[in-house]
Chains A and B, each alone.
Chain A
Amino acid sequence: MEKMNSKIPDGPLSQKWTRYKASARLVNPANKKKLEIIVVGTGLSGAGAASALGELGYSVKVFCYQDSPRRAHSVAAQGGINAAKNYQNDGDSVYRLFYDMIKGGDFRAREANVYRAAEVSNQVIDHFTALGVPFARDYGGTLDTRSFGGVQVSRTFYAKGQTGQQCLLGCYSSLNRQIKKGSVKMFPRREMLDLVLIDGKARGIIARNLITGEIERHGAHAVVLATGGYGTIYYLSTLAVNSNASAAWKAYRKGAFFANPSFVQIHPTCVPQLNEYQSKLTLMSESLRNDGRMWVPKTKNDPRPANEIPEEERDYFLERRYPAYGNLVPRDVGSRAAKERCDAGFGVGDTKLAVYLDFRDAIKAQGKKAIENKYGNLFEMYLTITGIDPYEEPMRIYPAGHYTMGGLWVDYELMTSIPGLYAIGESNFSDHGANRLGASSLMQAAGDGYFILPNTISNYLADDIRVPKISTDKPEFAEAEKAARERIEKLMSIKGKQSAASFHRRLGKIMWDYVGMTRNEAGLKKALEMIRELQAEFWKDLSIPGSAEDLNPELEKAGRVADFLELTQLLITDALNRKESCGAHFREEYQTPDGEAMRNDKEFAYVAAWEYAGEGNPPVLHREELKFEEVEMKVRSYK
């Protein structure tokens, strides 16, 4: 159990981070530049970490699969970023942000990590503002905020519906400053194929140059994964189509524990699937629920257009079921409520798999101009995609896969169970429990990257100041490279008939149907069986034209899908193990009479961390008991 030491510092919750920083070991400036750190991924957490580490003087190497670090999928986050500034004088505080996250996560997150995320949130806003992120402002020149789901204060800072883009470009700019200085070297269009361990420590990666197909070895004293989530297991999701889980999955296979893989967030407000060719679903920001009201007709299969259905014949189902939070319930609750109405036959549109998100009343009360100022680009995007003008007619929306709370297990220092391997941002599991609140992903990712990791990594590297530059001639690199080459060879030699994307689409359908917003034992078992069959078919009938020594998008996709076919089985194993409903993990067997999630704190108040046990063997479960020192575990209610 040594590997599962979460290293939570002593002392009261509010003092832990201060005490940690006061006692963590440091590396002197002259030694820092001799220490190399690899960062994989350039979203808010990766680019933030690389910038901050470069500023400190470490030698940093950064990798991303895109052609430029500016394209990481943080770019697509829309609504905002939380901080406990209390600029609105509405009773906000670090403690309240912490409490909202703990409760929003249905008491399945680690208390100390969550408190720290809330604590550094204010620094994140200060930093982004100083970097020139053009957040929305009030007439007096101060920063404006808005509300998000699951909270009763206004603490979300935003840049129209493009907050993620603006924050990411802020990170990209600080990364560029370090690239110019020479402390950071950027390796775009690279995909990490494997992690290299030497004497049990993470000492480098094997990467594929996506343009030339060359397999490269890169050594470092420590490796940081900032590789995002695995929401693309559903094929159709709000993620970028190339987002993938391969780096984290390779780390898992090398011994890093994977925690709570079944905790996947399905976001309630997305443009519904319109046809069978679709390659992606587009998010409509949660911020829209500040002013938009969700409803369905009270009569099944009501043929009338939305605007002809009178007020008394509309069922504002969130306001009805959750009067205290109304349309601003958390995402898991909102998604299930929309699904419940559609499953009961009240859905709208051709597919009947949609509900309305209506701005009629807000436009009447505030005027079209005000609504345009807040959501203009989102309304335009909706119009572009659907051909429907949301100023005139309500949007039609439906839930879609969006974010993964589960991820690599990390301790308080954000180190995985492999010494020297860190996981930050969405790629770790620690802060969001079983459900993430809106606008806290940008907050956590930037906090991890800029302000937490740079403080914790020195505590590890302080022992490494006498370790010379890691040579990539060591046999461990040769071995990892050989394994990576063999796997590519194996994929290329199948020479079957079907494309990687077609397997991905079928996997996504299985996951959505049986491992989506609600799950039950029979369905999970069936999905597991279907995925195993699909996996066998994949390794027999995959087609990859072209060569591995060239730019080959089909080979890239195939590697990712092969990993999804393994990861989804672990996810289902975790979902079967967790015989309770909590947050986004809703087991139909465990619900209250009025359809709310029923947690089982006696048996499941733990983090399920899975250890790889070799090909064909069931993974080993390690339990990290969740001890709440500050808060009391309560039934999570938004009524």
Chain B
Amino acid sequence: MKLTLKIWRQKNARARGTFVTYRMDDVSPEMSFLEMLDSLNKKLVEENLEPVAFDHDCREGICGSCGMYINGHPHGPVPAITTCHLSMRHLRDGETIWVEPWRAKPFPVIKDLIVDRSAFDKIQSAGGFISVNSGGAPEANSIPVKRKNADDAFDSAICIGCGACVAACKNASAMLFVSAKISQFALLPQGRTEAKERVRAMVEKMDELGFGNCSNTGACEAECPKQIKLTNIARLNREYYKAY
């Protein structure tokens, strides 16, 4: 495949960024998108030019490290996958591909396609936990959990914290991310004890960090690589009302 890449290059948070054009003549449709970037970087390194910086790690869609805007979509044009699972066979020969970092104020650019997502960790440490000490847990089967609840909690708990929801949202809202954790714990008896404190603390932190409000557009759900549902946001709102 032959491709024209327009990649956002930015030295650091303070520097001005710009799109740089790279032409690739020997891309195999069997490569993953990140492997295509690897091969570009290999060439750059061999010419002693700085390679394109991007976050990545497990390359199997579960760690949540990778994430970039590809042709206007977080994680690229294919729904329900992370960037590392995007294959070049999903793109067209001869295409011009625009690659950008997440664009959201609470996620400042560190370098090129790498952004600072530590705001997500701050929200989680505000209340995304159940307060139980090691050794203080009751026997695992002493509290039965409805299978449906356990399954629904799982469906919320699979969020990988990649940030695509925030990047997709015109308000840079973190509601889908926060609601996934709130839902997981709200659905389990173990999480009910602290439900009120948790939702207050997490929402307060989310607001403080500059994430926007939800206006029910649903772009987050459409772009989420793990298909976290919008109904989580409804549950978050319900939990929030109950907490005051």
In the complex, chain A residues whose CB is within 8 Å of the CB of B12: 550-551
Q: Is B20 an interface residue (CB 8 A)?
A: no
In the complex, chain A residues whose CB is within 8 Å of the CB of B34: 279
For B185, the closest partner residue in chain A by CB is A132
Beyond A126-B140, A188-B118, whether A67 also contacts B55 by CB under 8 A is yes
**Contact between B132 and A131 (Cβ–Cβ < 8 Å)?**
yes
Q: Is A55 an interface residue (CB 8 A)?
A: yes
Q: Is A241 an interface residue (CB 8 A)?
A: yes
Q: Is B215 an interface residue (CB 8 A)?
A: no
For B48, the closest partner residue in chain A by CB is A545
**Contact between A73 and B65 (Cβ–Cβ < 8 Å)?**
no
**Contact between B134 and A176 (Cβ–Cβ < 8 Å)?**
no
Q: Tell me the complex Cα distance, A245–B35, Å.
A: 23
Q: Is A141 an interface residue (CB 8 A)?
A: yes
User: Which residue of A139, A242, A275, A495 contacts B28 across the interface (Cβ within 8 Å)?
Assistant: A275
In the complex, chain A residues whose CB is within 8 Å of the CB of B77: none
**Contact between B140 and A160 (Cβ–Cβ < 8 Å)?**
no
Q: Is B216 an interface residue (CB 8 A)?
A: no
**Contact between B57 and A123 (Cβ–Cβ < 8 Å)?**
no
**Contact between A275 and B31 (Cβ–Cβ < 8 Å)?**
yes
For B161, the closest partner residue in chain A by CB is A70
In the complex, chain B residues whose CB is within 8 Å of the CB of A617: none
Beyond A129-B190, A166-B154, A188-B118, whether A451 also contacts B58 by CB under 8 A is no
For A69, the closest partner residue in chain B by CB is B121
Beyond A188-B118, A211-B110, whether A135 also contacts B126 by CB under 8 A is no
Interface-facing stretch out of B39-47, B97-105, B206-214, B230-238: B39-47
Interface size on B, residues (CB 8 A): 78
Nearest-neighbour CB distance to chain A for B56, whole angstroms, equals 7
Q: Tell me the complex Cα distance, A176–B125, Å.
A: 4
**CB-CB contacts below 8 Å: A491-548 with B:** 495, 497-499, 501-502, 543-546
In the complex, chain B residues whose CB is within 8 Å of the CB of A357: none
**Contact between A278 and B126 (Cβ–Cβ < 8 Å)?**
no
**CB-CB contacts below 8 Å: B145-179 with A:** 145-147, 150-151, 153-154, 157-158, 160-161
Q: Is B68 an interface residue (CB 8 A)?
A: no
Q: How large is the interface on A (under 10, 10 to 19, 20 to 34, 35 or more residues)?
A: 35 or more
In the complex, chain A residues whose CB is within 8 Å of the CB of B111: 211, 550-551
Beyond A73-B58, A134-B153, A543-B45, whether A125 also contacts B140 by CB under 8 A is yes
Q: Is B130 an interface residue (CB 8 A)?
A: yes
User: Which residue of A76, A450, A545 contacts B45 across the interface (Cβ within 8 Å)?
Assistant: A545
In the complex, chain B residues whose CB is within 8 Å of the CB of A73: 57-58, 63
**Contact between A68 and B49 (Cβ–Cβ < 8 Å)?**
no
**Contact between B132 and A553 (Cβ–Cβ < 8 Å)?**
no
**Contact between A132 and B45 (Cβ–Cβ < 8 Å)?**
no
**Contact between B128 and A176 (Cβ–Cβ < 8 Å)?**
yes
Beyond A137-B150, A160-B154, A454-B134, whether A76 also contacts B62 by CB under 8 A is yes
B48-81 vs A, CB cutoff 8 Å, 1 = contact: the mask equals 1111010111111111110000000000000001
Q: What would be 7 A-B contacts, judged by CB atoms less than 8 Å apart?
A: A132-B153, A134-B150, A174-B134, A277-B31, A280-B59, A545-B49, A551-B12
Report the 8 A-B pairs with minimum CB-CB distance, sorted nearest first: A141-B144, A130-B137, A173-B129, A176-B125, A134-B154, A499-B45, A129-B140, A134-B153
* Residues of chain A having any CB pair with chain B under 8 Å: 48, 51-52, 55, 66-71, 73, 75-76, 85, 87, 123, 125-127, 129-132, 134-143, 159-160, 162, 165-166, 169, 172-174, 176-177, 179-180, 186, 188, 211, 240-242, 274-275, 277-280, 282-283, 381, 384-385, 387, 450-451, 454, 495, 497-499, 501-502, 543-546, 550-551, 553-554
Q: Using A137-B150, A279-B34 as known contacts, list a sample of 10 further A-B pairs with CB atoms less than 8 Å apart, ordered by residue number in A.
A: A48-B134, A126-B137, A132-B130, A132-B191, A134-B153, A134-B184, A173-B128, A242-B56, A544-B45, A545-B50
